[in-house]
Chain A
Amino acid sequence: MNTYCKAAIRNQKELMTGIWKMELEAPEIAHSARPGQFIQMYPPDERNLLARPISLAAIHGESVEVVYRVVGKGTEQFSRLRDNDMVQLMGPLGNGFTLPEAGERSVIIGGGLGIPPLLELSKRIPGEAEVFLGYADAPFMDGDFRGHGRKVHVASQTGNGGFRGTVLELVEAIAPFADRVYACGPRQMLQAVAEWAERQGIPAQVSMEERMACGIGACLGCAVKIQKPGEKDWQYLRVCRDGPVFSGREVVWNG
Chain B
Amino acid sequence: MIRYIRRAAAFCLLLLLALLANAARVQVFEADELTANPANRRNTIARYDQPRGNILVHTGSGDATATVTGSTDTGEQLAWERTYLHGPLYAPVTGYASQTYGTTLIENAEDDILSGTSSLLAPLPLWNDLTRGRQPGGDVVTTVRDAVQRAAYEGLAGRKGAVAALEPSTGKILALVSSPSYDPERLSGTGAAVTDTWTRLNASESRPMLDRAIRQTYPPGSAFKIVTAAAALDAGVVDDPDEETDTPSPYVLPGTSTVLPNESSGCEKASLAEAIRVSCNTVMAHLGVEVGLDGMVEAAGDFGFNDDGLRIPSGVAKSNFDTEMSDDQLAQSSIGQFDTTATPLQMAMVAAAVANDGEIAQPHLVDRTTKHDGDTVSQTSTRSYRRAMSPSTAVQLRRMMVDVVENGTGTNAAIDGVTVGGKTGTAQNGVDNSGAPYAWFICWAQSEAAGRPEVAVAVVVEDAAADRADISGGGSAAPIARAVMEAALPRD
Instruction: Report whether chain A binds chain B.
Output: no
A positions within 8 Å CB-CB of B: none
B residues with CB within 8 A of A? none
